Amino acid sequence: MSKAMLIDTTRCIGCRACQVACKSWHNLPGERTEFSDTWTNPKFLDSNNYTRIIFKEVDKPGGQVAWHFISRRCMHCNDPACASVCPVGALQKLDNGPVVYDDARCIGCRYCMMACPFQVPKFEWGSAVPLIRKCDFCADRIASNLAPSCATACPTGTLIFGDRDALLKEAHRRIGAHPGKYYPEVYGEKTVGGTSKLYLTAVSFDELGLTHQGFRTDLGNVPYGIYGREWMSKVPWIALTVGGLAVGLHYFNQRRAEVQDQKSQEGKED
């Protein structure tokens, strides 16, 4: 059964324990980072940071301010666009939930970066042999019947790991039991055909102003993998067409040169 993670942002205290656990489990190097304008650190996801807690202030009536802490990482789509456009199968959606990446197959084309609607895959720009990097949902831990490292480290129960169907039931139970606490939508339930990361929030992502930070609300419910496969299906025909034109142009130029040489030889004989 496909696994997923329910992220109840109303419980997050911004401690960043998930960030630390992620870096520790994946042996990612420590580095000097910078705060954003809202004290988010690091400013962006990158090849050394697979998880990021966004700090967000929202104005409330009466001049009050509410803090919201939103966990940002790979969404592990049910039908991932990144995997559908990869020409060598370096990205793959596993039956138990994770979207994983195979270093040995990658050719560095970066199609996955362009295809991902959540802007998640990152390139190792500073490496001599650069590869793609992103959250892998701790696929090795899941294979060993362990929860992802971030969920294990979370002290407030913000991150809940389990079967996707059961987590969706729990998410809707919480919304029904506390209608004033939650925005009445589970982000990721149907978005782009559904994802393995499911979000509960106090207000919409539009109100949080996070649509430009990966939490887009204009994506619809159609799996983006469909678009990727449709585009990739045209690649062989495009390659054959371009190749045929190239061969034709080469033959044409070669024949034109031969004709010109022949005329030059005839002119010399006259």
Q: Over the stretch 90-142, which tens digit does the pLDDT of each residue have?
A: 999 999 999 999 999 999 899 999 999 999 999 999 888 899 999 999 999 99
Task: Give me the chain's average pLDDT, please.
Answer: 88
Domain shared by 89 and 223, yes or no? yes
Rounded to whole angstroms, the Cα distance separating 93 from 83 reads: 7
Domain identity same for 155 and 257: no
Q: Span 213-225, mean pLDDT?
A: 91
| Cβ-contact 213, 54 below 8 angstroms | yes
218 and 99 housed in the same domain: yes
What mean pLDDT do residues 181-193 have?
A: 97
Residues 255 and 164 in one domain: no
Q: Does one domain contain both 129 and 247?
A: no
The total of structural domains in the chain comes to 2
Question: pTM for the whole thing?
Answer: 0.83
Residues 209 and 252 reside in one and the same domain:
no
Q: What share of the chain is helix, strand, coil (3-state, %, to 5)?
A: 40, 20, 45
Asked if residue 259 and residue 137 are part of one domain, the reply reads: no
199 in Cβ contact with 186 (< 8 Å): yes
CA distance 228 to 161: 29
Residue 261: give the domain boundaries: 240-269
Residues 15, 79 within the same domain: yes
Whether residue 264 has pLDDT greater than 80: no
Question: What is the per-residue pLDDT for 42?
Answer: 87
Token pair, residue 83, equals 């995997």
More reliable by pLDDT, 63 or 140: 140
Q: Are residues 226 and 246 in the same domain?
A: no
214: domain CATH number is: 3.30.70.20
3-state DSSP assignment of residue 92: strand
- pLDDT, position 58: 86
Do residues 120 and 45 lie in contact, with contact meaning Cβ atoms separated by under 8 Å?
yes
For the chain, strand residue ranges (E) read 3-8, 52-60, 64-72, 91-93, 99-101, 122-123, 132-133, 159-163, 197-200
